[in-house]
Amino acid sequence: GGGSGGTGGSGGGGDAITMGFSQVGAESGWRTANTKSVQDSAKNAGVTLKFSDAQQKQENQIKAIRSYIQQKVDIIAFSPVVESGWETVLKEAKDAKIPVILTDRAVDSKDTTLYKTFLGSDFIEEGKKAGQWLVEEYKSSTDPVNIVELQGTTGSAPANDRKAGFAEVIGAESKFKIVASQTGDFTRAKGKEVMEAFLKSNPDIDVLYAHNDDMGLGAIEAIEGAGKVPGKDIKIITVDAVKDGMQALSDGKINFIVECSPLLGPQLMDLAKKVIKGEQVPARVVTEETTFNQEQAKQALSTRQY
Ligand code: GYE
C-alpha cells in the first residue's frame, strides 16, 4: 500500500499513510476522549484517517472494515465492541494484506496472526484494583457487604474482565455478596434505569461497582432520587476517571475510581507507522494507569484534560 505518492505531510517522511478506524460508538465520556485522541494524533502524525462510528453494533463495524478493505487503506485499526465473532472479517483483511491493529478492546480469537498488536488497558487488573479497594475499606468489619454491579456492554472485553478481576479479589472473603449484577451498556441513561430497578428490589445495598464512570453518574441520580446519599449510604466504585467522574469523586459522591486511559492515539499512530515499515512491534502494549481516592481526585481535577 501507500503507492499513491507522498503528500508532503509532516513528520515521519515517506508516503502518507491512510488508516481506516472503526470506533465502537459515542456511548461514554471515555469514548469521546478516545475518539478525539485518535483524530488529533492522526493529524499530528500526518496520517489520513477514515473514521466511522458503529453505534455499539458489531455488524456496523464489520461493514466498516469491509469497506476499508475495498478502499485499500494501508492499515486498519478498530476497537471491537464485543470479543467474539471477528475471524471471518479479520481473515479477509489478512488475505488482502492489510495489517490490523486492535485498540482498546480485545478479540477472543486464538489466531493471533489476524492482527499485528493489541494496544489498550489490562481490564482484569482494573477489576482487581476495584476489589482491592473494597477489601481494604471493609477490613475491620465482619458484617455482610451487599454489592450491586453495573456491567458494561454484554460480551465486551472490559465488561467480561472488569467483572472477573473484581470477583476474583472479593471472592476470597465470604462477607462480600454480589446481590444483583446487570448490564448498563456503559451509558448514563441505562446506568440510571438499572440502578432504579436495583434500588426497588434490594432494600439494603451497601456498595455499587459500576464498570465505568458514566453508569456510575447515572446511578447517582437514581440513588439521590430514592432519597439516599451517594458515597455515604451507598459507596460507589467506578472505572475510567473522566472529568465528570473525577468531579463526582472530589464532591464525595463516588468513593474510588480506577483509571483507564482513553489517550491511545499517539501510541496507535507510532505502532501503525512501524507496522507499515515492516518493523517489529510488541504483540501487546499495555496502557499505564493509576487509581484515585477522593483526596487524589481533588488534586488531579484541575489539570485533567478529558
Ligand atoms: O471504560 C467505557 C467505554 O472500552 C475501555 O468503553 C473502554 C470502555 C470504557 O464505553 O467508558
Between CA 199 and CA 252 the distance in angstroms is 20
Cite the DSSP H helix spans in the chain.
Answer: 29-45, 58-70, 87-95, 123-137, 157-170, 188-201, 213-225, 243-250, 265-277, 294-301
Tell which atom from ligand 1 comes closest to the C-alpha of 187: 10
Residue 30 near ligand 1, beta carbon < 6 Å: yes
- Nearest residue to 238 (alpha-carbon basis) of 112, 148, 155: 148
Q: Could you tell me the distance, in angstroms and rounded to a whole number, from the CA of residue 141 to the centre of ligand 1?
A: 32
150 in Cβ contact with 182 (< 8 Å): yes
Q: What is the pLDDT of residue 305?
A: 87
Q: What is the pLDDT of residue 14?
A: 56
Residue 212 near ligand 1, beta carbon < 6 Å: yes
Which residue ranges of the chain lie beneath pLDDT 70? 1-14
Measured in whole angstroms, the distance separating CA 240 from the mean position of its chain's CA atoms is 7
Q: Could you tell me the distance, in angstroms and rounded to a whole number, from the CA of residue 301 to the centre of ligand 1?
A: 20
For this complex, say whether ipTM is above 0.95: yes
Measured in whole angstroms, the distance separating CA 85 from the mean position of its chain's CA atoms is 19
Q: What is the pLDDT of residue 8?
A: 40
Tens of pLDDT, residue by residue over 17-41, are 999 999 999 999 999 999 999 999 9
Between CA 198 and CA 191 the distance in angstroms is 10
Residue 31 near ligand 1, beta carbon < 6 Å: yes
Q: Could you tell me the distance, in angstroms and rounded to a whole number, from the CA of residue 67 to the centre of ligand 1?
A: 25
Q: Could you tell me the distance, in angstroms and rounded to a whole number, from the CA of residue 140 to the centre of ligand 1?
A: 33
CA torsion through residues 75, 28, 249, 209, sign: negative
Q: Could you tell me the distance, in angstroms and rounded to a whole number, from the CA of residue 172 to the centre of ligand 1?
A: 27
> CA angle at residue 131 from 248 to 129, to 5 degrees?
75
Between CA 35 and CA 111 the distance in angstroms is 28
Grid coordinates standing for 265?
492515539
